A and B are shown apart, each in its own frame.
Chain A
Amino acid sequence: EVQVVESGGGLVQPGGSLRLSCAASGFSLSSYWMHWVRQVPGRGLMWLSNINGDGSSTTYADSVKGRFTISRDNAKNTLYLQMNSLRAEDTAVYHCVRDLDYSDASGHHFDAFDIWGQGTMVTVSS
């Protein structure tokens, strides 16, 4: 079965750090762009970051740039999100997401998040 499973969430104090992991199974992580998306319970979705197949290209939302780092270990088929200087507003469920990697006839790539993990809850509170 193709799936991703997140882990590493928990309760952390403001200013603290956490590293989230996302274990992929049923497919080779190296073949796909991957993303992190978060959701405050009961609220909307927010895209955080993405990384290309070999890890050479990363992008971040402004609100996490400089604090969060996305990385991957393709040998372990695992994606990571290192989160530093955490704030109360980072409290959310964090989802690991696979990008379908669809391109049309002209070669234009479209994001299509086809595989989502159930998420791991991060609570930032003193």
Chain B
Amino acid sequence: AIQLTQSPSSLSTTVGGRVTITCRASQGITNDLAWYQQKPGKAPKLLIYAASTLQSGVPSRFSGGGSGTDFTLTISSLQPEDFATYYCLQDYSYPRTFGQGTKVEI
């Protein structure tokens, strides 16, 4: 199975700050990667798919990039509602696998 390693596992920042989360795949996955946001007690929410395509309704401060083995999720100016845990997910092959998550805290 393809392993996804996110870094950092957690980070502390302030409102207005710029955040970059990295997801590294154990083998090349072209651009078959999505990003999800999860808040406590809530189901995950789709942010980005196909590595860089922004889901409808998601603010433009979120962006995704990368291909092959290295991917990034960037939040350009963190808002209070963005404090959450973020997961990457590969759909290059079965079984689908998630990264371990990155918690973004104040």
Contacts and interface: CB of A to CB of B under 8 A. Distances in A.
A47 B34 contact: no
B6 to A, nearest CB: 10
Contacts of A50: 96
Given A47-B89, A100-B49, A112 B34 contact: yes
Contacts of B101: 44-45
Contact of A47 (B43, B95, B100): B95
Given A100-B49, A111-B89, A118 B43 contact: yes
Contact of B50 (A61, A110, A118, A119): A110
B87 A44 contact: yes
A110 B91 contact: yes
Looking at chain A's contact residues, is the secondary structure mostly helix, strand, loop, or mixed? Answer: strand
B61 interface: no
Contacts of B32: 110-111
A114 interface: yes
A112 B91 CA distance: 9
Chain B interface size, under 10 / 10 to 19 / 20 to 34 / 35 or more: 20 to 34
Contacts of B94: 59
Contacts of B98: 44-47
Interface residues of A, number: 23
B78 interface: no
Contacts of B38: 45
B54 to A, nearest CB: 11
B18 interface: no
Given A110-B34, A112-B55, A45 B44 contact: yes
B39 interface: no
Nearest to A59: B94
B64 to A, nearest CB: 12
Given A47-B89, A110-B91, A102 B50 contact: yes
Given A62-B95, A110-B49, 20 more contacts: A45-B38, A45-B44, A45-B89, A45-B101, A47-B95, A47-B98, A50-B96, A59-B95, A62-B1, A102-B50, A102-B53, A110-B50, A111-B89, A111-B91, A111-B96, A112-B46, A112-B49, A116-B43, A118-B42, A118-B43
